[in-house]
Amino acid sequence: MSITKDQFLNDFAIRCFAEIADGDYIAARMVSRGQMVVQYLWASQQAIEKYLKCILLLNRLPAKDGHDLGAALNVIKDSGKVQLDLTKPTERFIEYLDKCGQYRYLEISNSAFGDDIVTLDRAVWELRRFCTLAPQPRQAQLRDGDPAPKVRLPGRYLEKIIDDPKHPAREALLWQNGFFGNRIRRKAKLVKWWKAMNSPLFLNPQFLDHVLTYVTMQEPLRKLYRTHKQP
């Protein structure tokens, strides 16, 4: 059976962006529990980027800004088609991922906290409800002091995992998760930790040109290190 252009684009947005983002989100939760900072930030950034690209494509907005989360948000806001109504913690989290999450090779210094996983869960919950054209999920709201409303996107990857008690990713998704799952969770018992990692170039920027002899680096980052002094 043939499908229309709009049906294909919507299917592409959901399967190639939103459902892959669901997997990145679970991966981010797994590596957060393992206290692996670079991997956690990268997986979180990838999840948020793909949810945003799904929202853009479903609303027929260009999704060509690469890893720039702020640019994607601005396109959505400026379009007037979608009112994301993101909370301040989610906005700050996305800003931090824009600064640190796109760097996979410790090109810059970074840090993370154990309870960041709650911030990730909230950000995914807030964005994912817009990864559909159905109006009901978009109407869900977070209220101070109340558990997050259960928002389900029928037939999606996350919902299939939640509904399958034997799915190997289910425990990683539901562990201390107050935003997704079948039960109402008012508190999350998290392991408190904090890790920070200094980039070798942050500590020794005088070796930048030697590094660039052998590896590539984004031009904006090159410019920053050329003006950066040893701490």
Residue 9 C-alpha from the chain's centroid = 22
pLDDT score at 143: 87
Domain count, the chain: 2
- This prediction's pTM: 0.93
Distance (Å) of CA 48 to CA 3, 86, 110, 125, 217: 29, 13, 18, 11, 23
Supply the pLDDT for residue 63.
74
What is d(CA 221, CA 44) in angstroms, rounded to the nearest whole number? Answer: 21
H-type alpha helices, the chain = 5-12, 19-33, 37-58, 69-79, 88-96, 116-128, 135-138, 157-163, 170-174, 200-203, 208-212, 219-227
Residue 32 has a pLDDT of 96
Q: Do 203 and 122 have their domain in common? A: no
How far is Cα 190 from Cα 185, in angstroms, rounded to an integer?
13
Are 208 and 163 found together in one domain? Answer: no
**Tell me: the pLDDT tens digits for 73-111?**
999 999 999 999 899 999 999 999 999 998 999 999 999
Q: Do 187 and 206 reside in the same domain of the chain?
A: no
- Retrieve residue 176's tokens: 């201390």
Q: Are residues 188 and 209 in the same domain?
A: no
Nearest 10 degrees: CA dihedral of 157, 165, 125, 183?
A: 150
Q: Are residues 176 and 205 in the same domain?
A: no
First to last CA, the chain: 63
13/82 same-domain check: yes
CA distances from 183 to 30, 147, 219 (A): 20, 10, 47
Look at the block and give the residue holding tokens 């479903």. Answer: 58
pLDDT for 184:
83
CA angle 21, 101, 180 (to 5 degrees): 40
Amino acid identity at 108: I
Q: Are 75 and 179 within one domain?
A: yes
* Residue found under tokens 């977070």: 142
User: No. of H helices and E strands in the chain?
Assistant: 12, 2
Q: Give the integer Cα–Cα distance in Å for 173 and 28.
A: 10
Joined tokens for residue 128: 């994912």
Tokens linked to 126: 């807030």
Residues of the chain scoring pLDDT < 50 = none
The per-residue pLDDT for 118 is 95
pLDDT at 65: 67
Tokens of 110: 């970074």
The answer to whether residues 191 and 151 belong to one domain is yes
Range of the domain at 143: 5-197
Query: Are residue 170 and residue 228 in the same domain, yes or no?
Result: no
pLDDT computed for residue 2 by the predictor: 86
